[in-house]
Amino acid sequence: MSSEQSITFIAQPGGNLSGEIRVPGDKSISHRSIMLGSLSDGTVTITGFLQGEDSLATLKAFKAMGVDIQGPDEKGKIIIHGVGMHGLKPPAEPLDLGNSGTSMRLLTGLLASQGFDITLTGDDSLSSRPMKRVIDPIQQMGAVIEATEKGTAPLHIKSSKNSRLKAIDYVLPMASAQVKSCVLLAGLYAEGRTCVTEPAPTRDHTERMLQGFGYTLDIKKLDDQRSTICLEGGGKLTACDIDVPSDISSAAFFMVGASIADGSDLTLKHVGINPTRIGIINILNLMGADISLSNEQEVGGEPVADIRIRSARLKGIHIPEDQVPLAIDEFPAIAIAAACAEGRTVLTGAEELRVKESDRIQAMVDGLQILGIDCEGTPDGMIINGGTLGSGTVDSLGDHRIAMSFAMAALRASGEITIKDCANVNTSFPDFIQLAQTCGLKVEA
């Protein structure tokens, strides 16, 4: 895996972002397109697939379980010959999911009742991330799953004589799209009606794609925040084609960069604007950003648009907690915006950031302090006082989003920023350096 290499980013100060670019395909949708496409009846064509290491780990896993998958070609086109709901075969060896938490958490539900033993492994980073949150509900459904004493990978999923899971009515203890998706995917194979209630909105790509493949879901809004999603086990998935929109999480770095750098005028093409993912737009708008949407349409059940960002004078805000689940992956980039804003930005309700690919709260606070910003971490967030970014060497801790965020910080820095341990940028954004250079960021690997 790329994490074994040593890659350092060097970002020179100044400049701005301009032009039109298209960032890579959405990682969440790319993962799910492989999973559901493989289990469908028929042939599925995927376009715009993200060729990052995380989503390729999912693709390799399903190939290892006997699915005939052709591609991806240079344009991200993939053809999957689905094997149906019960056509997966036991792989010859453990499935190595690299750095991909999405792959491991969703597959834990999907593979819990396939009727064969299977082991899920990953790199050192993935092997330190919490998995009890998905193991617990799936065990309540009757699965047999073994993990380490800390509840981490490797995960050993055991077949049982009665491999049919029992449906449950599960209330998520915290908002998590991955846990929700894990339980729903297990519910496809369960006896009865599986329901998941979430305390706040989270990304709904699994629900949208299941319905796109013809699976019936019952979704009820309980109030402004809570909703319940139910499905009956024992159905089937009917093949359909998928066009993967550009990933708003990857677009976020450029949205922040264009907002903070004087003279910027950048358009990001065909970006997914799923309402459960637009926290980055909402938060930047609250900070005073100049963002406009055009060419809005729906592609394969997912809303997309072109996003134009022009430089603006940002101001510090208290980030509304209802926006936190809608922007959970974008907070490293948002922290850079906060560092360049006038006044204080306060983030609360984001303790999930402590257990991502790195402790993202500590990683951003440490890096910003090195660059001269007055900030501090709290158990569930950050307090950042806007100021002047200096120069220095920061450690991304092998976390792709930390690396790309500090690269964008150079647009407003007074000197060179060196970012260590950047190999895992390949997990979500393999061409980040080249694309960033084309629109004006002075960065090299």
Query: Are the CB atoms for 334 and 283 separated by under 8 Å?
Result: yes
Query: Are the CB atoms for 69 and 58 separated by under 8 Å?
Result: no
Q: Give me the amino acid identity at 226.
A: R
Which residue of the set 329, 395, 399, 421 is catalytic? 329
CA 329, 332, 336, 337: dihedral to nearest 10 degrees?
Answer: 20
Kind of pairing between the strands at 165-166 and 190-191: parallel
User: What span, in angstroms and rounded, lies between the C-alpha atoms of 48 and 156?
Assistant: 33
CA atoms within 13 A on the CB side of 313: 2
- Name the nearest CA neighbour of 100 among 200, 213, 2, 203: 2
Q: Is 324 helix (H, G, I), strand (E, B) or coil?
A: coil
Residues with Cβ within 8 Å of 214's Cβ and at least 6 positions away in sequence, in order, are: 236, 237, 238, 240
Kind of pairing between the strands at 381-385 and 374-378: antiparallel
Phi first, then psi, for residue 137 (nearest 5°) are: -65, -35
| Catalytic residue flag (residue 421) | no
- The crossing angle, in degrees rounded to 10, of helices 177-187 and 101-110 is 30
CA 201 distance to own-chain centroid? 15
- Per-residue burial over 101-131, b if 16 or more Cβ lie within 10 Å, else e, is bbbbbbbbbbbbbbeeebbbbbbebbbebeb
DSSP code at position 403: H
User: What span, in angstroms and rounded, lies between the C-alpha atoms of 280 and 69?
Assistant: 34
If one counts every other C-beta atom within 10 angstroms of the C-beta of residue 92, the result is 7
How buried is 295 (Cβ within 10 angstroms: 0-12 exposed, 13-18 middle, 19+ buried)? exposed
Distances 151 to 135, 216, 335 between C-alpha atoms, Å? 8, 33, 30
Q: Which residues are annotated as catalytic?
A: 329
